[in-house]
Amino acid sequence: MNHRQINVLVFGASGMVGQGVLRECLADPRVGTLTTIGRNGSGPHHPKISEIIHADLLNYAAIESQLKDFDACLFCLGVSSAGLTEDDYRRVTYDLTLAAARTLAGLNPQMTFIYVSGAGTDSSGAGRVMWARIKGETENALLGLPFKASYMLRPGIIRPLGGIKSKTRSYRLFYAAFAPLLPLLHAALPNQIMSTKQVGLAMLYLATHGYPKAVLESRDIGIAAAKAAEN
């Protein structure tokens, strides 16, 4: 897959990470087609981008014909657990992700599925921290699906670049307050803080080249991003 164009499907394209991923996909000539899927249009408008607007992200039976022939899925859809009950967080994290992934695995056995998880995720699925446990259960379930390859990304703090903004108010306030410090912290702590560009580059590298590990912590994401920049 390294020497041909790939067809990419993106979930969560309007979010902070998703916006960064879209930018790298648009800039990479190896991406032939770029399709976003969500309940609403995500923008930006570009000849390479096509959108699938689908209201029920727990059921894809009506649009299965549009979800075939993809080489990679970059799954950037997620929410903060703040203010959510465990049942609500599980629904939008585990249930929603697996509904999409199970459908795609059946339609695209050649697909590489890349999931943006988070630093501190609990792979045991039995820890006391609700969000970490559910993220861990989600990762484990994804790794058990019959994709060509699956990768779980666990970034720490992500620094938005190029005017990208988070849709989560608390995150926007955090980035506004610490914006002057983030470049310095990024330079000082490259394994804990990374940019939206790095996450996007890393996902594309995984889609086109793969990686020795299925679960990538921040350091691995940085390595994959650096390798992508070299190619």
In this prediction, residue 194 carries a pLDDT of 87
Read off the tokens for 119.
Answer: 């630093």
In a domain, 199, yes or no: yes
Tally the domains of the chain: 1
Q: Which structural domain, as residue segments, surrounds residue 125?
A: 6-230
In a domain, 1, yes or no: no
Question: Cβ contacts of residue 222 below 8 Å, gap of 6+?
Answer: 190, 191, 194, 198, 202
| Helix, strand or coil, per DSSP, at residue 29 | coil
In a domain, 79, yes or no: yes
pTM of the model: 0.88
pLDDT tens string, the chain, 231 residues long: the values are 455 899 999 999 988 899 999 999 999 999 999 999 998 875 667 888 999 999 999 999 999 999 999 999 999 998 888 889 999 999 999 999 999 999 999 999 999 999 999 999 999 978 899 999 999 999 999 999 999 999 999 998 888 877 666 565 655 555 555 566 666 665 665 667 889 999 999 999 999 999 999 999 999 999 999 999 887
Q: Please count the other Cβ atoms lying within 10 Å of the Cβ belonging to residue 107.
A: 16
Which domain CATH number covers 42?
3.40.50.720
Q: How far apart are CA 100 and CA 82, in angstroms?
A: 24
